Structure 1
Amino acid sequence: MAPSSIFAGALLAFYLATPGSAAAVQKVSSVSDAGAPLFTNEQLQLTEHILSTAAPNHTALFDFAKNSSLSVRSRNECKAYPGDAAWPSNFVWTLFDELLGGALIKTVPLAAACYSSWPEYDSDECDTITADWTDSNLHAADPASVMWPLFEGRTCLPTTNASASCTVGGYSSYAVNVSNVAQVQLAVNFARNANLRLVVKNTGHDFNGKSTGAGALGVWTHHLKDIDYIKNYKSRTYQGPAVKMGAGVQAHEIYEKANELGFTAVGGEGKTVGVAGGYVLGGGHSPMSSMYGLAADQVLALEVVLANGRFVTVTEETDPDLFWAIRGGGGGTFGIVTSVISRVHPKVGVTVSTFSFATSTNVSADTFWAGIRSYVERFPAYADAGTYAYFWVIATGTDSFEFLMNPFFATNHTLAEYNALVEPWYKDLADLGISITPNSTYYDNYYDAWMAGFPLETVASSVMMTGSRLFPRANWETTYSFNSTFDALRTTVTAGYALLAFNMKAELQDGYPSNSANPAFRNTLLHAITSTSWSSTANNTAIKDQMETFTNDVMGIWRATCPDAGAYMSESDILEPNFKEAFYGSNYARLWKLKQIYDPTFLFYAPTGVGSDNWVVNSEDGLPDQNGRLCRV
């Protein structure tokens, strides 16, 4: 946004930070209770003095919360929405942008280049956007776009019909391109005081669109990329190597740094996943989970902007309740994290193996499933060996199926050790007449293995939704429970629903402090995902019917095998029945109490988040997306 001449003179006379950083900013000491210095961007903070000097006539719009302003508002209240009398004027948005140092972005949908009604219309650019639409890097690099446009509202998809309609829809109306803490504080204070919906985005990976919302102010943390390696980090309960990561750091970035410096980090399987954002805050399963647990388990300290606008250090010593809640209780729930400090581990070798098999004239459907059963039976042994496998089982026709191991990721296993581990299964396959040609390679470091083993994520389908389940170890402990589990998986695939799954475990390691990650993770041996889809020409009623059938009937078969288990909130069904039990388990009651303490006005709302059932999005299309006004129930 261009600076207004009304403010130019005053602001030029005011203290300015470096270009692109917040104008309302004061540099503070780098000392932190986290046990590692603040990043430079974290030293640039908002203070009452700076605020009163920068915007003396509008302090109330951007000021920190006082106790009285944290009281819960009317239960009938909706968040301010574009077009409302309460929506901030252009004058106020301009002032906000000035205080931010020019970091405010008015949202333009990523595919606007395809639509003649937008100034950005450009057929060549549209072709580029269309070709790259399923590439996760494209959406991660945009301030408002998310990986799953279904949950934005499908309001501006790539098209060859330039005269079609394109609106901002469920994307945030504005986004702050964050380069320092002061900008996060300003955004939090402005959203709270102006009663705006607030969303937080790094990459937009969450399967349910938690980082989008119609009429929202977005906080885009994607460019907080600092990484500091701490050779000997010390806290009350831990001494050893650690890494401090900015909230914008992605998996490929921390893994590359780890390889350079000779350590191994616990991060996502996906290449563009934001490790220090919603991923770790929601738990975060990893190719290293069978060895070291969840990403949330590794966290030793966090730097956070709370709902009152204050920047705080959160550790087990400074705030044990928040330290417990924020590690696993969900992104966009208790505050905006600007950095995390996580323990790291020694360099590790990995054997990566890929192969496939399928039904054929020599392999019947029953024989195929006997080969799958032989594999699934061995999940406890494989997870206990510290390995992680990513595989698909898909129907290719009537009584026709294919299995894809893509890959078996055998951490801390040489090629010989891997072959010894899987030899009994391979023998079973051979005895069944199922031929495989494994492509197995040993890498002496995690980074090279990960780069070779996991493809770039394909995203952005607007004609599908997913559901998942964490199948517990107990399902392998009796013949009846195992048969029920295996039959449920076979029934799903036979009905035409693909199975994408991970054989892994994620136990909390001895000596690690407890956290609020879904207790179902601690018992799991299988994180399984499936999906449903519909025609691109289906109307909203048909889509809603398909979604509900999937949730109740298809996913219901899985839930019946382990009704007391749960699902991974970041890769889940947005219509999951009893989401509190499914995503949070026994932790929900405590999380709800803490939510009311740290965010009593519910500044931080996210679909399926703690307390989200107190709110409703009145979506434009009647689907469970974020394209509509957010109101209290």
Structure 2
Amino acid sequence: MRFPVALLAVLPLVGLVLGQTITDGQNNATLDANETTVAPAAQPVSKDSSAAPADLFTSEAAQLTDNVIANLTALNLTSIDLFSFDNGSSSTDGASKRDSGSCKSMPGDVLYPPNLVWKVFNLLLGGALIQTTPLASPCYTNWNNYDAGKCSYISANWANNSFMHADDPTSVMWPLYQGLTCMPTTTPSDSCRLGAYPSYAIEVRSVYQIQLAINFARNANLRLVVKNTGHDFNGKSAGAGALSLWTHNLKDIQFFRNYRSGTYNGPAFKLGAGVQAFEMYEAAEKQGVTAVGGEGKSVGVMGGYLAGGGHSPLSSIYGMAADHVLSMEVVTPDGRFVTASDSYNKDLFWALRGGGGSTFGVVTSVVLKVYPKMPVTIATWQFTTSPTVSAEAFWSGVRAYYDEFVRFTDKGTYSYFQLVGIGPGAFLFAMAPFVAPNMSKQDLEALLKPMFDKLSALGIAATPQYFEYTSFKPAWENHFPLESVGSATLKTASRLFPKANWLDAAKSNATFSVLRQTVESGVVMLGFNIAAAPTAGFPDNAVNPAWRNTVLHAICGVIWPEGSSPDVIAAQSKRLTNDVMQKWRDVSPGAGAYMSEADIMEPNFQQAFYGTKYDKLYQLKQRYDPFGVFYAPTAVGSEDWTVRDQIDGWPTQNGRLCRL
């Protein structure tokens, strides 16, 4: 039997894994794996897409195909099945294929793939496999890479440079759920451990690598996680012993002046999964259009942000980011590469737009409709308690702003503000920024005047600053700072407060009272005055219905001293969930929370994060992923799993993942 040269080169290693000798059937010569060069297990396919108007990116046209698998399996070596596609049998009996209580394989387990299999895997991947080295390991001696200079840089940037974490294959921006096992330190003799960092990561550059990884994880019963940038507040890209897909480098961007799909005809971008907000906005500025994305500069827009719905400074006029998706290219849990749109794989398309990341597959690119260039005006202001502004006057000033939430969002505006205690009985309100799309300075001054008149009458001098821009990108760039990340002393939670709470006086009073009590108790609060039900309408997708009724997305956080014990962390965590947040839930029954910025311990997360969409999403999860290839905390179907050996009140991903 004759094999392609590249394939013939990989077979000796496969044979070594199995304890067999592989020979060239024509010459009866044993091949030496050390003397061969192995090409990736990829087959070029046509870039022409039969399912979408946009051609495939080059990265998407290098695929794992049935022909590649057939060549690999031609020698009847059963271990090659580790890289094979699902044959469809999984759909017949679903989760029963795995016993209740069974666990994902971990390093050290008898059935965990041996090193030689990982070597073969790396060869098939084209050398893209990375064995995890924690980002902060240069601060320690036990990883044999101690470097005081690197440690100093990492320490200085840990909490204020989200790009540093995004550019690392496995670092997460919220290490609380990684287990805090390798934080920057000034004591090199301390121990740095992997904790919930994955054991291996793949630097994804092509679709075939994703397909190989999904097949390998499914067939070898490995935990699989997906990291784009690592922004998710609950550390969904962490997982002890896992294999991670790092999609950060899928950066292709293509602009279409006239994209035709279904009933849509207009400008659109096709964007790779790794494109970050600053890159998307730069591309939109260059083309003279406006794209709907988030406020965070380093967020990977096409990853968990879009999968979670994606709130935006433009949401009050355009809705959620997921509302603007025209099609998606995705690798599903069976290893197949498909298009999801209103015409193909419609149920999958519905679920991917708001149903959560790391759940239904790995998206490689998204076609996103965009809008005409627009002017934007920004306003900023702040005020505090002072010798002339009492606490009561301060809170009356906050109430003057709070009472305008419905009027402001009805005009299409968005605002991002902070409320924090700055001392006993002393408080700060800071608006940074108030975003007014399609408004001039004069328009915005008129909109804000009634509120500022009330502040003036209270003796509060809150002098606003106004900034006019001819497009969205410079307004966003100049007024949204780089995110603070990497905290080991903070846990956050969030709530979507419905518009109805402002239309009823009693509910409005109760809501404001609870928010005030929260800040007075020492809890920091961030707020977004935002709506996501534009007058032009929005598509049917999996976005949490609570978003369509909200005018306030609020985040709060509790803190503890540096170096606190696990008991202290757990106690503060439970206080946030069971005390602070319960008061917020009590004044907004039946509402919800934004899954990407929420409490990992949210009670009844199914209702809070997905609302009435959950039952359908769960059914689709069982159809597309009956083996449970994809798991993430609070994701659809995650209630069927547990991470063992957790601290009550501090649920990290630092443990064995098992079926319940």
TM category, shorter: over 0.9
Greater CA deviation, 618-627 or 350-359?
618-627
Q: Which residue of 2 aligns with 1:321?
A: 347
Q: Which residue of 2 aligns with 1:50?
A: 68
- Deviation, structure 1 residue 137: 0.7
Contact 1:619 1:626 (8 Å CA) reproduced: no
Match of 2:401 among 375, 378, 386: 375
Distance 1:411 1:449 in 2: 10
CA 1:170–1:619: 2 relative to 1, 3 Å: farther
Greater CA deviation, 88-97 or 47-56?
47-56
Distance 1:350 1:110 in 2: 39
Counting only pairs closer than 5 Å after superposition, residues 346-495 of structure 1 correspond to structure 2 as 346-495=372-521
Confirm whether residue 624 of structure 1 aligns to residue 651 of structure 2.
Answer: yes
CA 1:331–1:306: 2 relative to 1, 3 Å: same
Contact 2:543 2:610 (8 Å CA) reproduced: yes
Q: Which residue of 1 aligns with 2:317?
A: 291
Confirm whether residue 34 of structure 1 aligns to residue 60 of structure 2.
Answer: no
Q: Which residue of 1 aligns with 2:27?
A: none
Confirm whether residue 523 of structure 1 aligns to residue 549 of structure 2.
Answer: yes
Greater CA deviation, 422-431 or 508-517?
508-517
- Deviation, structure 1 residue 321: 1.2
1:187-214 per-residue CA deviation (whole Å, 9 max, x = no partner) reads 0000000000000011000000111100
Confirm whether residue 543 of structure 1 aligns to residue 534 of structure 2.
Answer: no
Distance 1:437 1:512 in 2: 37
* AA aligned opposite 1:150: L
Confirm whether residue 273 of structure 1 aligns to residue 299 of structure 2.
Answer: yes
Contact 2:182 2:192 (8 Å CA) reproduced: yes
Structure 1 unaligned runs (5+)? 17-22
Match of 1:67 among 83, 88, 94: 88
Confirm whether residue 584 of structure 1 aligns to residue 610 of structure 2.
Answer: yes
Distance 1:76 1:509 in 2: 48
Contact 2:13 2:116 (8 Å CA) reproduced: no
Counting only pairs closer than 5 Å after superposition, residues 2-17 of structure 1 correspond to structure 2 as 6=13, 16=39
Secondary structure of 1:102's match?
A: coil
Q: Aligned pair count?
A: 625
1:145-194 per-residue CA deviation (whole Å, 9 max, x = no partner) reads 00000011101000011110111110111000000000000000000000
RMSD: 1.6
Q: Which residue of 2 aligns with 1:256?
A: 282
Distance 1:177 1:339 in 2: 16
Confirm whether residue 175 of structure 1 aligns to residue 201 of structure 2.
Answer: yes
Q: Which residue of 2 aligns with 1:165?
A: 191
Q: Which residue of 1 aligns with 2:41?
A: 24
Distance 2:271 2:343 in 1: 20
* AA aligned opposite 2:53: G
- Deviation, structure 1 residue 14: 8.0
Distance 2:359 2:34 in 1: 34
Of all paired residues, the percent bearing the same amino acid is: 53
Structure 2 unaligned runs (5+)? 1-9, 15-30
Contact 1:54 1:99 (8 Å CA) reproduced: no
Distance 2:132 2:292 in 1: 33
Distance 1:397 1:5 in 2: 69
* AA aligned opposite 2:86: A
Confirm whether residue 575 of structure 1 aligns to residue 601 of structure 2.
Answer: yes
Confirm whether residue 137 of structure 1 aligns to residue 156 of structure 2.
Answer: no
Distance 1:386 1:25 in 2: 48
Contact 2:217 2:224 (8 Å CA) reproduced: yes
Q: Which residue of 1 aligns with 2:21?
A: none
- Deviation, structure 1 residue 15: 8.0
Q: Which residue of 1 aligns with 2:359?
A: 333
Distance 1:295 1:10 in 2: 49
* AA aligned opposite 1:632: R
Counting only pairs closer than 5 Å after superposition, residues 49-128 of structure 1 correspond to structure 2 as 49-54=67-72, 57=77, 58-70=79-91, 71-72=94-95, 73-128=98-153
Contact 1:297 1:508 (8 Å CA) reproduced: no
Distance 2:109 2:541 in 1: 41
Distance 1:11 1:510 in 2: 63
Distance 2:287 2:540 in 1: 29
Q: Which residue of 2 aligns with 1:306?
A: 332
* AA aligned opposite 1:626: Q
Secondary structure of 2:656's match?
A: strand
Contact 1:293 1:509 (8 Å CA) reproduced: no
1:21-71 per-residue CA deviation (whole Å, 9 max, x = no partner) reads xx0001111122122101110000001222343575332010000122454
- Deviation, structure 1 residue 544: 1.2
Match of 2:523 among 487, 491, 497: 497
CA 1:9–1:185: 2 relative to 1, 3 Å: farther
Distance 1:96 1:479 in 2: 63
Contact 2:546 2:611 (8 Å CA) reproduced: yes
Secondary structure of 1:499's match?
A: strand
1:202-234 per-residue CA deviation (whole Å, 9 max, x = no partner) reads 100000011110010000000000111111111
* AA aligned opposite 2:149: D
Provide TM-score, normalisation by structure 2: 0.93
CA 1:472–1:12: 2 relative to 1, 3 Å: farther
Distance 1:597 1:553 in 2: 38
Q: Which residue of 2 aligns with 1:151?
A: 177
Secondary structure of 2:644's match?
A: strand
1:274-298 per-residue CA deviation (whole Å, 9 max, x = no partner) reads 1001100100000110110001101
Match of 1:193 among 213, 219, 230: 219
CA 1:479–1:227: 2 relative to 1, 3 Å: same
- Deviation, structure 1 residue 499: 1.1
Contact 1:153 1:621 (8 Å CA) reproduced: no
- Deviation, structure 1 residue 475: 0.3
Secondary structure of 1:613's match?
A: helix
Greater CA deviation, 103-112 or 312-321?
312-321
- Deviation, structure 1 residue 542: 2.2
